[in-house]
Every structure is written in C-alpha cells, then in structure tokens.
Amino acid sequence: MPSAMRSETPQTASPLLRMRGIRKTFGQAVALAGVDLDIYPGEVHALMGENGAGKSTLMKVLSGAHQCSSGTIEVEGREVAIRGPADSQAIGISIIYQELALAPNLTVADNMLLGRERSRHGFLDRKAGISACRSVLDKLGVDFQPTDKVSTLSLAQRQQVEIARALLADCRILVMDEPTTSLSARESERLFAVVNRLRSEGLAIIYISHRMDEVYALADRVTVLRDGRYIGSILRSELTEERLVRMMVGRDLTSFYQKDRALERHAGSVLLSVNDLRDGAKVRGVSFELRRGEVLGLGGIVGAGRTELARLIYGMERRVGGTLAIEGRDVAIASPLDAIRAGIVYLTEDRKHDGLFLDMSASSNVNTVAIGLDSRPFGFLNAQKARARTDKAIADMSIALAHRQVKVGTLSGGNQQKVLLARLLQTKPKLIILDEPTRGVDIGAKSQIYEMIEALAESGVGILVISSDLPELVGISDRVVVMRDGRIEGEVRGDDITSEAIISIATGSTGRGTLQEDTP
C-alpha cells in the first residue's frame, strides 16, 4: 500500500473542529466518558479503537443522530449546537457510513441532489442540477455519468457517489467509516487517491478503520478511544504498531499470532480430499488434502477463485467435475444441508447478507441450525435447551451483549462474527471453512478468534482459512496452498510461509514454494 505524501499538522494552526468532554449515556450505560477530539483542515485524522470503543457513537453525536449528554462542539472557534442531522449538514459535516445510503433505482444525479434539488422560477431545473453534479464528478475523476442508474455501478463507484454528494453539499469535514471493507485492493487504491486529493484541497477527513496499513498510508494523526474514553492522539511520525496496539487494547500483543512453528502441531489422518474439482468457470481443476487438526491457509489475489472453491465444497454452487471425500469416503454434496450432514460448515465472507439474521436475537441466531435438537413431541420446541445453549455460547465465545435477546444487527462486527461462529459450532463439525474470518473485526476480537481457531485445531477439527490479510494467513496457518486463475499454483509450509512467498506464487513471479503444474 503506497505511503501518502503529507506534511504533519502545523502546531500553530487552529482546529476546524473541536470536541471537548463529550459524554453520552444510554440509561445507566456510559457510551462516551468525556471524549476530546481536534480536527484540522487539510488533514486525514484516523479514529481508532476496538469495536465498542465509542467511535461510532462519537460520530453519531457529530452527525446529529445522537445528542451528547454533556460537552461542547466548536467549529472554527464558534460553539455550535447539533440537535439533528440538518444542523450537522448545515455547518459542513458529512458522514459516509459503511452501509452506503443510496437509492439504487435513482440516477447518480438524483442521489446527489436528493433534498437539495435546483429550481428556477418555481420549477425543477434538472439541467442545472445535472451540470452541478457533473462538475463535482469531474473533479473526482470518476468513470461514470450523472445520468447513470446507481444500480449499474460497482460498490467502489457508489462510494464515489457518496463522496460527490458530500462535496456538492459544501462539506468541510468528511467522516468515512470503514470505507474499504468491501473493496478490492485496486478499488482501495483509487479511494486513497481521492482521499489524498481532497486533503490537498483543504478538506478535513475523519477516517475510521481497523486496518493498520491504511492508517500508515493515509493518516496525518491518530486518535484512539477505548471503552468510551479518550486515550490519546499521536502524530504519524510517532506512530508504531506496538504503541497503537497498546493504546487500543491496554496491553502489549507481542505474540499476536500465537503459533510457534518450532512446536508445530502434528496433523492427523486425511480428513478432506479434493480431487480435480471444477465449477465450469472460476474453479478449474483443484486438488488438495486437509488433515485432522490442521489449519490450512488458502492464499491468492482477488479473483483467484478462493471463495468460489469454498462455496463449491460447501454445496452452495454446482460442480461440473471432480470428487470430494471425507475420511476416505466419497461424499455427494449438492447443498449446504448435505455439507452439514457430512460434517462441513462454512463461515461466509459476508456475514451480514449471507450469514446472520440481523433482525433476530442472538439466541435465535445461535440456535438456527440446532433447532431440531430442541424439538418436543407434537412440534413444540424446548426453549430451556435453546436458552442454555445460547448462554454457553456467549460464555465460551466471550460475546459482549446485554442479554441473549439483543438483536444481532446492533452488535459490533467482532461480536456478530462470534455469534455466527457459535452457530456453526453447534453442529459439532469435522471441518470448518472460514472465509475472511476477521474482516471488519477489531484487534481484540481478532486475537480471540485466533485463539478459537487454534483450540479447534488442537481438538482435531480440520480448518480451511481464506484470508486476504497476508500477515494473518502467515500467522495462523500450518500450511498454505495458493490459488491463481482457478488452480492451486503452489504450496508453502513451515518457515517458508511468508507474505513474500505467497505473493510470488499468487502473481506468478519467481519465489519460494513448491510449484505444481497447471491442471489442463
């Protein structure tokens, strides 16, 4: 990831935004306990902290979605009262949330102008509106038109529409909440270029991210929150991973990835055999074995076919060739139900759309696949067993929630992921496929998920991990197979498991690893 050219915030400059002693309570619960934040014009200010640290609550106070219980907000040295979103927008504050708020059935211009349409002599002036939108879009260097339907745009392009809408509203302070969560590496690079351009034009940007490489690449300063409290702010020149992690979690994580290769676990007998598996499109003849108690990493760049392979093994996609065997016995998997019966479960990369029922309780989500175990005669359910199962999962997985009936959609990303993992484990699987298991998860939750993976492997469960986070893949895998263009291109193990070795195989360049011939 490229390092942005920047100069550090002048100490003599006056802040554009100053938040002092911001406190927010919900009943007896304290979400923010006297938080301070200074934002200067022409800087990218990273706001970091674990899920639940108070970042989103602080930004909701700034946006007017919440009103602070106490504290002050100043813009250009003048105290302002933000009682709702209209007040926030009027003083030039715009927020782009992780879940984009666009109407896909409308055009780009319609979305940009929503609530601020141009008029002339009392009539809607569509021509003037489109012209204003085009001017902003040209400034951003986009490759689509204001008359295009949003539904035809990629996720990265839709994000550009959100940015353009903010600029059209004369935004001076732009908040970006986890903007790269669903973007590819190339799309992220384009977003970084836009962020750098806006910074050079004097826009103040508050950038919320869990990804440290993005913070190193973009941030001029970093402010850390923990447990609703202000921990401190540091300049980019003072930033180190050790210092940042210590501020975020309150402790050192010197051995963040716990695997000791000198004490490498002895994998058991072959659990899964994949032979010449094909889907007629993205998976083009894949063969590999996974043993009991082994954490097998699956590496490769975006588009290599990793997720498609996982979905094929799990029966979510139809295979056109090849075989699967569990413990030496061929299995016919044509659906996820077949996979579950064979002892295979799959943690999807998109937990919100393909994994969880966000409007349902944590208890309902945990018990979904095990509901048949609780049935009583005449179709009645054993609610007591379901409650006990949920309470055990909450304790075992350290899921932070007020009570078991809390809606999953209100939980942090890390706790949502733990609920999904808890559900999968109710089936007592032999093999777990984890697709981007820590995407959108904070450092503390990541550490807990890694510990769970290690404990499951120690108990004899086979684990296949797909991750685009190379340090993660290197840190937790016993062995890594690498895909390119729908095939397994190579394998690395032991001390040869490095980011460089994985990348060299994934891109086809010369590097370490045992290369395999292409499957015709």
The pLDDT of residue 448 is: 83
The pLDDT of residue 240 is: 81
Among 496, 479, 520, smallest CA distance to 299 is for 479
- Give the Cβ contact number of residue 511 at 10 Å: 19
Q: Is 315 helix (H, G, I), strand (E, B) or coil?
A: coil
**Lowest-pLDDT range, 208-212, 244-248, 509-513?**
509-513
DSSP per residue over 159-227, as a string? HHHHHHHHHHTT-SEEEEESTTTT--HHHHHHHHHHHHHHHHTT-EEEEE-S-HHHHHHH-SEEEEEET
Q: Residue 251's pLDDT band (boundaries 50, 70, 90)?
A: low
261-343+429-515: CATH topology: Rossmann fold (3.40.50)
Cα 460 to the chain's mean position, in Å? 29
Q: Residue 265's pLDDT band (boundaries 50, 70, 90)?
A: low
Q: Which residue has the tokens 């139900």?
A: 337
At residue 520, does pLDDT exceed 60?
no
The Cα–Cα gap between 219 and 124 comes to 41
Q: Residue 22's pLDDT band (boundaries 50, 70, 90)?
A: very high
CA distances from 134 to 10, 110, 117, 168, 193 (A): 34, 12, 14, 10, 19
15-92+204-254: CATH topology: Rossmann fold (3.40.50)
DSSP per residue over 390-432, as a string? HHHHHHHHT---SSTTSBGGGS-HHHHHHHHHHHHHTT--SEE
Section 254-266 average pLDDT: 54
Strand partners, 71: none
473-518: pLDDT as tens digits: 988 999 999 998 899 999 999 888 988 888 889 877 644 444 343 3
The Cα–Cα gap between 498 and 487 comes to 20
Domain extents in the chain? 15-92+204-254, 261-343+429-515, 360-419
Phi, psi of 222 (to 5 degrees): -130, 130
The Cα–Cα gap between 224 and 496 comes to 35
Of residues 29 and 305, more confidence is placed in 305
Q: Copy the structure tokens of residue 403.
A: 């009570």
The Cα–Cα gap between 64 and 85 comes to 4
Q: Copy the structure tokens of residue 252.
A: 């050192």
Phi, psi of 55 (to 5 degrees): -60, -50
Of residues 464 and 182, more confidence is placed in 464
186: exposed, middle or buried (C-beta count within 10 Å: 0-12, 13-18, 19+)? exposed
Strand order in the sheet with 221-226: 93-96, 173-177, 204-208, 44-48, 221-226, 229-235
Torsion of CA 153, 155, 156, 157, to 10 degrees: 20
Among 338, 328, 308, 304, smallest CA distance to 320 is for 308
Strand partners, 433: 346, 464
CA distances from 457 to 85, 444, 464, 465 (A): 48, 20, 10, 12
The Cα–Cα gap between 292 and 458 comes to 9
CA distances from 202 to 173, 359, 361 (A): 10, 41, 44
pLDDT, averaged across the chain: 84
DSSP per residue over 476-500, as a string? H-SEEEEEETTEEEEEEEGGG--HH
The Cα–Cα gap between 377 and 431 comes to 32
At residue 228, does pLDDT exceed 70?
yes
The pLDDT of residue 142 is: 86
Of residues 137 and 353, more confidence is placed in 137
Among 168, 177, 172, 121, smallest CA distance to 140 is for 168
At residue 146, does pLDDT exceed 80?
yes
Q: Residue 327's pLDDT band (boundaries 50, 70, 90)?
A: very high
Q: Which residue has the tokens 């909440």?
A: 177
Residue type, 504: S
At residue 121, does pLDDT exceed 70?
no
At residue 18, does pLDDT exceed 90?
yes
Q: Copy the structure tokens of residue 211.
A: 């990804």
Q: Report yes or no: 32 and 61 within 8 Å, Cβ to Cβ.
A: yes
The pLDDT of residue 507 is: 77
Cα torsion 486, 489, 493, 498: sign: negative
Among 483, 478, 434, smallest CA distance to 290 is for 478
Of residues 8 and 352, more confidence is placed in 352
As a whole number of Å, the CA-based R_g of the chain is 25
In this structure, what DSSP letter does residue 269 have? Answer: S
Contacts (Cβ under 8 Å, ≥6 apart) of 393: 366, 399, 419, 422, 425, 426
The Cα–Cα gap between 345 and 357 comes to 17
The Cα–Cα gap between 494 and 391 comes to 38
The Cα–Cα gap between 308 and 280 comes to 11
Residue type, 371: I
Phi, psi of 271 (to 5 degrees): -95, -50
The Cα–Cα gap between 161 and 168 comes to 10
At residue 375, does pLDDT exceed 60?
no
Section 155-166 average pLDDT: 87
Cα 112 to the chain's mean position, in Å? 26
Q: Residue 372's pLDDT band (boundaries 50, 70, 90)?
A: low
Q: How many helices (H) and strands (E) in the chain?
A: 16, 23
